[in-house]
Chain A
């Protein structure tokens, strides 16, 4: 246990003056952001605005060039130098990807038990118990012995959610979790996410599902050209956007 975990008021994520470049492209510009425990934050913005990059920095999948990021008391420093704390952060931060990224050579069950066994050192029986419970919760328990390719997209994404939850994360990152899904499967994934939010999980979600954002988010952040342009409650951002960029974006995405 470190200090921050005992202090329930400390933010789980703190980003201070984070800057990131892809070559000459300045994809994150002086990002300052705090996420409180239990908070559900939805990040919206046009494609290429830097919103995926922002959450990928939180678990060190992307390096940044200046500033600092603290996740649950563990600090990430620029240029990917996190060392021990990077690994610690990753064990405490779960992530769900747009393309699911399930392990195709492992059964559904093994997808979920792999990290608890190899990272947490749980024995197989204990890991199976966790996997059974989580797969049941996301409604996949009767498919546990199948391989990912035998499941629908919606089912695969729910397995991916169970896989991340098996590490008992303090924070969950969602990188456009429904963007690769057929329309009829989006609902089942959003339902599972909604349930997780209701249980008090801290979540950072990049999504284009504005209805879901309005319903579930405690806070909505609008990102444009690598900057946080506007943030507030869903009502504030969606109904009374101040910035013209936000207004322009919303008028485009809410039209259809």
Chain B
């Protein structure tokens, strides 16, 4: 095949300083959203296994709604839809963090539920039989073991959410993809720039994978 195109490494490298300005936003939205999503996930994951139906069903409703609709629709709803209700604009970065938090929170709720339920009931019984309160049994016995089992699934969710932030270019957040689009608009070097964008995402997600693998290996002592 006759390829009449030269990959321009210099153009690729030249785009880096501009692309790197998107990284802080990508990281802020990803990790800000994931941190809040983790809190949401703990709360709703535990509500979902509550013995009280009154607590279970709101958790189920939340999880099904945010797991069953696209993140893109969620962020468009928050950024363009909610201001009509609130009567004032919402900051695009705030909208992005909220969308990641709500979406990841729904998935993490299920991860938390599965993790906690995977702990043998004998562990709880052993804790209670020693006189530990239900709260302490959960805190010192169930949760540490559940968290360890949740790490691979949490890692997956982290990677998914980091990539989801690329959608927020549509609401004008200056994240990685948005910076690429802006740069390409003046240089017309789409091939080079999108390759660099992809590599930068890979750098972020691989770092996360690596960190989690370390954590998991260290955490596996005693299992």
Residue A251, interface by CB 8 Å: no
Produce 1/0 per residue, A110-123, CB < 8 A to B.
00001100110000
Known: A115-B130, A118-B136, A119-B132. A101 touches B222 (CB 8 A): no
Do A118 and B132 touch (CB < 8 A)? yes
Do A91 and B131 touch (CB < 8 A)? yes
Question: Which listed residue (B130, B133, B221) contacts A147, Cβ 8 A?
Answer: B221
Interface size on B (CB < 8 Å)? 21
Q: Which residues of B contact A90 (CB under 8 A)?
A: 128-131
Do A105 and B129 touch (CB < 8 A)? no
Secondary structure class of chain B's binding surface, majority of residues = helix
Q: Name the distance in Å between B30's Cβ and chain A's nearest Cβ.
A: 29
Q: Which residues of A contact B127 (CB under 8 A)?
A: 103
Q: Name the distance in Å between A73's Cβ and chain B's nearest Cβ.
A: 16
How far, in whole Å, are A107 and B145 apart by their CA atoms in the complex?
13
Q: Name the distance in Å between A89's Cβ and chain B's nearest Cβ.
A: 9
Residue B223, interface by CB 8 Å: yes
For A107, give the chain B residue with the smallest CB separation.
B222
Question: Which listed residue (B125, B136, B148, B223) contacts A97, Cβ 8 A?
Answer: B125
Question: Which listed residue (A59, A99, A118, A147) contacts B122, Cβ 8 A?
Answer: A99
Interface size on A (CB < 8 Å)? 31
Do B130 and A101 touch (CB < 8 A)? no
Do A105 and B131 touch (CB < 8 A)? no
Q: Name the distance in Å between A50's Cβ and chain B's nearest Cβ.
A: 18
Q: Which residues of A contact B140 (CB under 8 A)?
A: 114, 118
How far, in whole Å, are A119 and B134 apart by their CA atoms in the complex?
12
How far, in whole Å, are A167 and B125 apart by their CA atoms in the complex?
16
Question: Which listed residue (B125, B131, B132, B136) contacts A101, Cβ 8 A?
Answer: B125
How far, in whole Å, are A21 and B127 apart by their CA atoms in the complex?
25
Residue A20, interface by CB 8 Å: no
Interface positions, chain B 114-140, Cβ under 8 Å from A, are 120, 122-123, 125-133, 136, 140
Q: Which residues of A contact B128 (CB under 8 A)?
A: 59-61, 90
Do A101 and B123 touch (CB < 8 A)? yes
Interchain residue pairs A-B with the least CB separation, the first 10: A91-B131, A147-B222, A115-B130, A101-B126, A101-B122, A95-B129, A119-B131, A90-B131, A105-B144, A105-B145
Q: Which residues of A contact B (CB under 8 A)?
A: 59-61, 87, 90-95, 97, 99, 101-107, 114-115, 118-119, 147-149, 160, 163-164, 167, 173
**28 A-B contact pairs sorted by A residue (CB < 8 Å):** A59-B128, A61-B125, A87-B131, A90-B128, A90-B130, A92-B131, A94-B129, A94-B130, A95-B125, A95-B126, A95-B129, A97-B125, A99-B120, A103-B123, A103-B126, A104-B223, A105-B145, A105-B148, A107-B222, A114-B130, A114-B132, A118-B140, A147-B222, A147-B223, A160-B126, A163-B130, A167-B131, A173-B129
